[in-house]
Amino acid sequence: MWLLDVLHTIFSLYSKLADCSTRMRSIVSFYFCYLLCLCLGIACVVFVSIWNSQWRGGFAWDGSALQFNWHPVLMVTGLVVLYGNGAVLYRIPLTWGQNKLPWKLLHAGVMLLALLCSILGLCAVFDFHHTNSTPNLYSLHSWIGICTTALFTTQWVMGLAGFLLPCSPMSFRKLLKPAHVWMGGCILILSIVSCISGINEKLFFALKGTTNGTVPYGNLPPEALVANSLGVLIVAFGLVVLKILSNQKWQRPEPRSEDLGYSPLLQDDS
Ligand code: HEM
């Protein structure tokens, strides 16, 4: 009989150890992806800034081409890098054991900053077009871009109303959450599509070769190399963020139903 007890203890110890090592491996691989996400995000901001300061003449807010240069910098920083980092905040295992409310506020704050950057980025290009009597919203890039920003604005307002206002009913939060998560991924994909199409359009406009004294895009001058690499970095950043968002094991654990019944922080766990 005692032999059975010993075997049972050894077996349960072994399964606990195996469970622990699987969890450790999952956490280590999360932090690897998260570090990659941070590095790629920084690289995107560095590349878009270098491109526009070194090859496009720098920045100003005077209706000139230098004002346009704010557009790519603010769109990449806001709708890609800040947005992507805001989206993965809840997945950081370090935050799981803590009250969700401060992380909710940080998530909403980072997304608000992303939204403000993108609105300012749109103001830069609309104002530049207005000053130079260029028509608005004629390109595929501008159509996708304006829809992306409109969806992001709607998503932010719905998120605020659904998850942060204390008066929003629990049933509404439950209904909203899957739609919010799905729409969040869609907005990131659309932002990346907008950036790729914008970079391509700008390179075709700027690197005409004979007509404006630049080396043609077809000869792959250093500017094109940097801007193409920016596109590759943006795609890689997006793929890492989507990988983090889609891994079930990296989702913040839901509170157990028996805890929910007694939790005074019920409002914070949606
Ligand atoms: C999420 C990112 C982006 C969004 C949402 C976006 C959105 C827009 C919108 C709505 C316009 C039209 C403005 C108007 O009609 O007056 C526009 C114009 C433009 N954007 Fe972007 N953009 C993004 C990123 C970029 C990037 C990274 C570049 C790279 C340089 C870029 C290049 C351009 C160019 C060249 C125009 C002027 C020509 C046109 O209207 O298509 N965009 N963008």
Tens digit of pLDDT at every position of the chain (270 positions): 677 888 788 877 777 777 778 888 999 999 999 999 999 999 999 999 999 999 999 999 999 999 999 999 999 999 999 999 999 999 999 888 888 899 999 999 999 999 999 999 999 999 999 999 999 999 999 999 999 999 999 999 999 999 999 999 999 999 999 999 999 999 999 999 999 999 999 999 999 877 677 899 999 999 999 999 999 999 999 999 999 999 999 998 876 544 443 333 334 445
Number of domains in the chain: 1
Candidate from 131, 194, 207, 237 with most ligand 1 atoms within 8 A of CB, to mutate: 194
What are the C-alpha distances in Å from 68 to residues 72, 133, 161, 206, 252?
Answer: 8, 14, 34, 12, 40
**Ligand 1 near 100 CB (within 6 A):** no
Print the domain residue range for 119. 26-253
Q: What CATH number has the domain bearing residue 200? A: 1.20.120.1770
Q: Supply the pTM of this predicted model.
A: 0.90
Task: Using most ligand atoms within 8 A of CB, pick from 75, 123, 205, 233 the residue to mutate for ligand 1.
Answer: 75
Q: Tell whether 17 is covered by a domain.
A: no
Q: Is residue 117 part of a domain?
A: yes
How far, in Å, is the centroid of ligand 1 from the Cα of 103? 32
H-helix or E-strand spanning residue 153: helix 140-159
Q: Is residue 176 part of a domain?
A: yes
In a domain, 15, yes or no: no
What interhelical angle do 100-131 and 140-159 show, nearest 10? 150
> Has residue 179 been placed in a domain?
yes
Question: Does the CB atom of residue 79 touch ligand 1 within 6 A?
Answer: yes
Q: What 3-state class would DSSP assign to 134?
A: coil
| Nearest alpha carbon, ligand 1 atom 9 | 142
Q: Is residue 14 part of a domain?
A: no
